[in-house]
Amino acid sequence: MTAFADIPLGSRPRGRWALTAQWVIADTPAGRRLVRNGEVVVDGDTVLYVGPGFEGEVAARHDLGAALIAPGFVDLDALSDLDTTLLAHDNWPAARKGRVWPRSYVERGPYEMYSPEELAFQKRFAFAQLLLNGITSAAPIASLFYREWGETVAEFDAAADAAQDLGLRVWLGPAYRSGGMVVEPDGRMVADFDEARGLRGLAQAIAFARKWQGNSLISPMLAPDRVETCTEALLARTMAAAGDLGCPVRLHMAQGMMELDTVRALHGKTAPEWLDDLGLLNDRLLAPHATVATAEDLRRYADNGVTVVHCPLVSIRHGGALRSFRKLRDRGIRVAMGTDTAPPDMVLNLAVGIMMCRMAEGDIAACTSSEYFDAATISGAAALGRSDIGVLRAGGKADIAVFDLADAAMAPTIDPVQTLILGASGRVTRATIVDGRLSMRDGEVAGIDMSAARARAQVQFDGLLAKYPERTAGHPDVADIFPPTYPLFDVTPTRRSRE
C-alpha cells in the first residue's frame, strides 16, 4: 500500500482513498461539525464520505495523526505577483514612492516593466505560495503600477496553464481600466482617463472568459481595476457582460481616502452610492475592502447582495480597518476573505481579522474563530455561486487542506480551529489537495522547484525595484525612495586598514 509520503505530487490516486486524522471538519445537513478521529474518503475529484469512520472498502488509507483535515480556503483577493505593496508600509506618501505615476512618466510613456516571461513566472510562483498556505480556490489580484496599462490575455492564458500545472482552482480575468491617478509637478493628484482603452480591455477580458468557460479548474471573472479608474460606461458594460457570462465581477471599492476623495470630486458621491444610483450593485459583485465605507454605503451593499472581501492583514498594515466584521454580518452582508499581500497566509489573515474586529467593537465577544473560518471557506464559495467548494462533505469537490497540529512551535492544541488560527500560521499547512489531486505536501508543490523559484523571484523583484525612479515623482534614487530601516554601517576603509 502506498504511503501518503509516496503519493506522487500532482497525481490523483486511483480508486477510493482515505485520509484519517485526529480532527476533521465535516459539513453536515445540520451544520458544520468537528469529528474527533475522523476520516475523509475521496473518489476521483469528489469527496465520497466525511465522518467518524468509513465502513466501505478503500484502495488506500493514510493516517495523518495529529492533524486537522479541513476544507481548503477560498481567497477572493489572492496575491498573484511579487508583492510591491510591502514597499509601502514603511515608506510614504504613496505619491512620492512610486505608487502614483508622475506626469513626467505619463508623458514619457509608461511601459511594461516585466517581460512576458517574467509576468508568467510571477503568477506561477504566487500560485504555488497560495497552495503552501492551504488555499485551494483563488481569485488572483496583482498591481498595475508596473504595467503599461492593464493586464493581457497572453499573461492570463499563461496563468491558466500554471494553475492547471500546479493544481489550483482559480477565477481568472485580466484587469482593465479607463484611467489612472497621476501626480502633477505641484503635488496635486488628478484622474486621467482613456475610456476607449478601457473598453478595449473589457472586450479582451470577455474573449478570455468565453475561451476558458467550462474548464474544471479555470472559471472566468471580470476584474475592472479600482473604482476611481473606471467610467460609467465601462462599469455598465462590465455588469451586463457578467450577466451574460454568468460570472462574478471584482471591483475594489470603499478602500481608501484617495479613492473616496477622487470619486466624490468626479461624481459628487461615494463609490457605492454612485454604483447604486447607476443600478450596478448586485450579488455578482465582490467588493474589497470596505474600510472607508459609510453606514449608508453598507446599507446599499446589504440591499443589493454585494459581497465584501475582507483583507485584514493588508488593511491594518496600512492603518485601516473594517468597522466591523460584526456590523457587516449583523446587516446581512456576506463577508468573504482575501489575502491581497505577502505572505498570502490565510491563517494569519484570520487571526488579524479577529483582533481587528474585537478592537473595532471593544468587545472580545464581537466575533469567533468559527465565524472567520467560515468566511474563508463557505462564504467565499457562496460569493462565487458554488456550494461544492469551501466545504468538506459527501458530493463536494475534493479541495482539502491538512494542518499539522503537532508542530513544535504551536501552542498546545485545545480546540483545533481555535488553536490553528490563534496559535499557528499558514506554515503548519502540511498538504493541499485540489480536485482530488495532491498539489502540495510538506512544502513541495507539484510542477515547481520552490527553492529555485524563490531565488528567481528575488532577482526579478530587485530588477523591478531598480526601475522605481522612472515612475516616482521627482525621480529620486532608489535609496532615497526606500531608505533602509537603519542607516547602513559605514564600511569605508580607514587609512590604517588601507596600510
Please check whether residues 25 and 91 belong to one and the same domain: no
CA dihedral 271, 273, 274, 279 (to 10 degrees): 120
Residue type, 402: V
Residue 414 lies in a domain: yes
Q: What sign does the dihedral 419-425-428-434 (CA atoms) show?
A: positive
Please check whether residues 375 and 412 belong to one and the same domain: no
CATH label of the domain that carries residue 414: 2.30.40.10
Structural domain of 17? 1-72+392-448
**pLDDT score of 242:** 99
- Listing from the earlier edge strand, what are the strands of the sheet with 169-172? 73-79, 135-141, 169-172, 218-220
Please check whether residues 64 and 83 belong to one and the same domain: no
Question: Among the three residues 424, 448, 472, which one is the final residue of a domain in this structure?
Answer: 448
Mark 341-362 as b/e (b = at least 16 C-beta within 10 Å). bbbbbbbbbbbbbbebbbebbe
Residue 214 φ then ψ, to 5°: 95, -5
Residue 443 lies in a domain: yes
**Of 345, 272, 343, 340, which is closest to residue 310 (Cα–Cα)?**
340
Q: Please, which residues bridge with residue 46 across strands?
A: 43, 397
Please check whether residues 240 and 276 belong to one and the same domain: yes
What is the count of structural domains for the chain?
2
**pLDDT score of 499:** 47
CB 33, CB 52: distance < 8 Å? no
**pLDDT score of 490:** 77
CATH label of the domain that carries residue 110: 3.20.20.140
Residue 323 lies in a domain: yes
C-alpha angle with apex 333: 399 to 89, nearest 5 degrees?
75
Residue 116 lies in a domain: yes
Please check whether residues 197 and 213 belong to one and the same domain: yes
Please check whether residues 218 and 309 belong to one and the same domain: yes
Mark 251-274 as b/e (b = at least 16 C-beta within 10 Å). bbbbbbebbbebbeeebeebbbbb
Written as nine digits, the cell of 63 is: 493516517
Rounded to whole angstroms, the Cα distance separating 278 from 299 reads 16
Q: What pTM, to 2 d.p., does this model score?
A: 0.97
Written as nine digits, the cell of 459 is: 532577482
Please check whether residues 91 and 155 belong to one and the same domain: yes
Please check whether residues 152 and 83 belong to one and the same domain: yes
Residue 192 φ then ψ, to 5°: -105, 135
Q: Are strands 16-28 and 60-63 parallel, antiparallel or unpaired?
A: parallel
Please check whether residues 413 and 338 belong to one and the same domain: no
**pLDDT score of 76:** 99
**pLDDT score of 1:** 57
Residue 105 lies in a domain: yes
Instruction: Please identify every stretch of the chain with a pLDDT value under 70, giving residue numbers as ranges.
Output: 1, 492-499
Q: How many C-beta neighbours within 10 Å does residue 405 have?
A: 23
Residue 354 lies in a domain: yes
Neighbouring C-alpha atoms within 13 Å toward the C-beta of 185: 2
